[in-house]
Amino acid sequence: MTRNRIRLLMVMDSLAVGGTETYVLSLVKALPALGVMPVYAGGTGVMYEAFARAGCPIHRVDLTAERLMDPERQKQAESALTHIMRSRQIDLVHIHQTPSGLHAARAARKLGIPVVFTVHGAYYPTEQLQLLKDAGCTFISVSPPIQGYLDYLNFPSYLFANGIDFEQYRPASSAALRASLQIPDEDKVVVYASRLAWDKAAVCAMLVRAARTLRLHETMPLHLVIAGSGNQAAAIAELAETANHDCNAKFVHMVGNQMQMGDYYNLGDLVVGTGRVALEAMACGKPVLAIGNHGYFGLVEQPVYDEAWLYYFGDHNSKERPTERLIGEAISGALSAAINLEEIGHQGQEWARANFDIQGKALQLKQLYGSLLAKV
């Protein structure tokens, strides 16, 4: 059957600050205009207010991996999710993580509700992917490498890129933020945005050391702003403090998790990032040096846009392993007078708008939801 209005349940581990959560928030804002009414179930977090302001009903269910290791708590979680699906008369469930998504999928299956699972990376254990497939999930990949990875494992998927809200991410003045961080107007700023964990924390450490070398040996008036947190944040903070001491200047600024990341992208002359961060920065008209969990891609310029997308900006595939020297040379080259960063940023914004606007991605999703519901 088909429906004009679709009652959708979005399930995530939490409302922490991250790429997946930001993407889901952008969908929550875009989908109602298309007749898809989202409800959220999962853990809470600092993005709670943003979801609430978007008019999304929120049901708090503890779906943390640690809690779900207990079989009794698994039953409690599935029971809570079943109650939400029934009381909200949910038509379709969209999950994004495991194991939280697995318990939502099992609850949905018992009620005959279709489930969509967006695969955001290659870090899901194969046995969990198999369990989700067995639970009847329809898979979505966020990048070509992820789709290829799933194909290899015999999990067919639809390829839907992350969408970006161009109302939220757009060029704007950063003068007030620059002043608050006491960064001189003439100094160059590199912004790094990421969870400070896993390989991304290792990239951040290389970036701090590379920036220190540039300040000391190339006398480049450079500032590095690091936005994000994670289990390696304390180690990065210690490294930053040492670098600042060595250069006798506070040029590495750790600002933690930020809800208004557009302000920080706009602060940068260059943004170092990957995946969704790369697209958000490009939406703000900023040039991107793409380095991700998988490895190094490089400066994202017009001739390599399609290739950058195929690598998901270094997050799901890469050209080589990053090193401190490679990163330093790339930053030095990008900030040199020979490179027109403004033009690169403007071209990147046009390409991102043409290919990754959230409105188009939300419409794609609605069409998939409709096709699945037509089979019920």
Reading the block at residue 306, the tokens are 């399609």
Tens-digit pLDDT profile for residues 12-41? 999 999 999 999 999 999 999 999 999 999
H helix or E strand, kind and range, residue 117:
strand 115-119
**3-state SS assignment for residue 24:** helix
Q: What is the mean pLDDT of residues 147-164?
A: 97
On the question of pLDDT at 200 being above 50, the answer is: yes
* Strand partners of residue 158: 140
Average pLDDT, the chain: 96
Tens-digit pLDDT profile for residues 73-123? 999 999 999 999 999 999 999 999 999 999 999 999 999 999 999 999 998
Q: Confirm whether 6-163+357-373 and 175-356 share one CATH topology.
A: yes
Q: What is the pTM of this model?
A: 0.96
* pLDDT score recorded for residue 77: 97
Would you list the domain boundaries of the chain? 6-163+357-373, 175-356
For the chain, the C-alpha Rg in angstroms (whole number) is 21
Cis peptide before 287 (omega within 30 of 0): no
The CA distance from 346 to 285, in Å, is 5
Three-point CA angle 26, 191, 347, nearest 5°: 65
The CA distance from 215 to 191, in Å, is 16
Where do we find the tokens 């600050």? Answer: 17
Q: Out of 64-73, 325-334, 362-371, pick the least confident.
A: 64-73
- Work out the end-to-end distance of the chain between its first and last CA atoms, rounded to an integer number of angstroms: 6
Q: Taking a C-beta distance cutoff of 8 angstroms, is the pair 292, 275 a contact?
A: yes
Q: Phi/psi zone of residue 33: left (φ > 0), alpha (ψ -120 to 50 degrees), beta?
A: alpha
> Could you tell me which residue, 368 or 337, shows the higher pLDDT?
368
The CA distance from 2 to 375, in Å, is 9
DSSP state letters, 40-94:
EEE---TTHHHHHHTT--EEE----TTGGGSHHHHHHHHHHHHHHHHHTT-SEEE
Phi, psi of 188 (to 5 degrees): -85, 145
Reading the block at residue 313, the tokens are 């900006």
* pLDDT score recorded for residue 279: 98
Superfamily the domain 6-163+357-373 falls into? Glycogen Phosphorylase B; (3.40.50.2000)
On the question of pLDDT at 3 being above 80, the answer is: no
Question: Smallest Cα–Cα separation from 268: which of 333, 201, 335?
Answer: 335
Question: Smallest Cα–Cα separation from 229: which of 268, 258, 252?
Answer: 258
Counting every residue written for the chain, the total comes to 376
Share of the chain above pLDDT 70, in %: 99
Tens-digit pLDDT profile for residues 224-280? 999 999 999 999 999 999 999 999 999 999 999 999 999 999 999 999 999 999 999
Considering only the C-alpha atoms of the chain, give the largest distance between any 2 of them, rounded to a whole number of Å.
68
Domain 175-356 CATH class label = alpha beta
Q: How does residue 1 score in pLDDT terms, banded at 50, 70 and 90?
A: very low
